[in-house]
Amino acid sequence: MRHHFRFAIPGLLLLGAICFFPAGSAHAQSDTLAATPPMGWNSWNHFAGKVTDADVRAAADAMVSSGMRDAGYIYVNIDDTWEGPRDAQGNITTNSKFPDMKALSDYVHSKGLKLGIYSSPGPKTCAGYPGSYGHEQQDADTYAKWGIDYLKYDLCSYGGIMKKEAANDQQKQWEMMQAAYEKMHQALLSTHRPIVFSLCQYGFDAVWNWGPKVGGNLWRTTGDINDSYDRMSVIGFAQAGLSKYAAPGHWNDPDMLEVGNGHMTPDEYRTHMSLWAILAAPLLAGNDLSKMDSTTKSILMNKDVIAVDQDRLGIQGDRVSAVGPFEVWSKPLEGGAKAVALFNRSEAEYPITVDFKSVGFDGPVHARDLWSHKDLGTLDGSYTATVPKDGVVMLRLSK
């Protein structure tokens, strides 16, 4: 169950759950850091506040043994509830669930993986553990000493500080929020360790406009996801129009993956994975990696779909058309190819047609179905597929 928090911003009441995300790098670093959307795992969706050192080690082990690491999943990210009290010098410590963070980091690195951690610009995290307020440089230095590679920085209790100090001046509150993220960005830079910086502040103040300026490698564009088709689809399809703000080193983040957590159908999880790939979104699995069935593995490790997400052009896809509940989305790929997804948001299977001219092709195209792993040969003009309820057909088209 998520820890819920509530704070008011003039004209806006926020009600949500703990946000968890990695944060971390500099504007100067970002040309190479997170050059493609980060891929990995985050502890929150499945383990929430119960996550332990042993759980994180098991996740790292499973990422290797399952083939996820080789498929591109690299970051092992600890969300909230790892924090202990500060020592006499003000340095952050870990609690009993994480007896030795440096040893854990060494273990994760020995697997060819990277370790992520979580904090807040406020005095408390969403779950009420110590945040980084007033200790930004100390915490950044500690993370670097531990060997941390990714920081998710969650607004949480800083919202109360914004409200207290800026009263009814919403613009001033937004300025304070940006300054808080910039402060940690500068602290991370000063460590000289490349740390991916993930802004978790729910899309406030159109974060896509200013996220890169405060060093964000990724920024949450929405409130929290949960393991339901309704919530996932509301978040995912609402990303239409944000493509121009994404680029290598700087990504829109519609929150973590719920694939494998058990409350959606396989077709709905394939929609989830396809949409996030078209969106060039971070792919951060949120399930128990030690207990994946073959269907979950086939969705999370579909190399054709992952290749769409990780395409080196770094162009986020966008909606091409929407007719009632039937949507066509497209994403440009290297070499002039396009990924095209036909989404059926209705209550029954239905034939959906993509006109090739609408996605930039004039003349015959070669097509491959990325979920059936079948080459469809050379097609001309258009293609029609019967798409299941809440499902998707995803294609790679090339001249």
Please give the torsion angle defined by the CA atoms of residues 23, 29, 31 and 35, in that order, rounded to the nearest 10 degrees: -40
Q: For every residue of 41-82, which 3-state class applies, written as one string?
A: EECHHHHHHHCCHHHHHHHHHHHHHCCHHHHCCCEEECCCCC
Residue type, 363: G
Kindly list the strands in the beta sheet with 392-398, ordered across the sheet, starting from the edge strand earlier in the chain.
Answer: 318-323, 326-332, 338-344, 392-398, 365-369, 374-379
Give dist(CA 271, CA 390) in Å, integer.
7
Sign of the dihedral through C-alpha 322, 281, 160, 27:
negative
> Residue 41: exposed, middle, or buried by beta-carbon count in 10 A (0-12, 13-18, 19+)?
buried
Per the residue annotation, which of 55, 154, 227, 390 is the catalytic one?
154
- Cα of first residue to Cα of last residue in the chain, in angstroms, is 48
Helices (H), the chain: 44-47, 53-65, 68-71, 101-110, 136-146, 158-166, 170-190, 229-237, 266-278, 294-300, 303-309
Phi, psi of 222 (to 5 degrees): -145, 175
- Cα–Cα distance between 391 and 325 in angstroms, integer? 11
| Active-site residue, from 224, 255, 267, 309 | 224
Tokens of 36: 């493609």
255 given a catalytic annotation: no
Type of residue found at 84: G
Pick left, alpha or beta for residue 59 (phi over 0 → left; psi -120 to 50 → alpha; otherwise beta): alpha
Query: Which of 109, 181, 116, 123 lies closest to 156 in space, CA to CA?
Result: 123
Q: How far apart are CA 63 and CA 80, in angstroms?
A: 21
Residue in the structure block whose two tokens are 């000063």: 190
Residue 224 is among the residues annotated as catalytic for this protein = yes
The token duo for 365 is: 């195209």
Q: Which residues are catalytic?
A: 154, 224
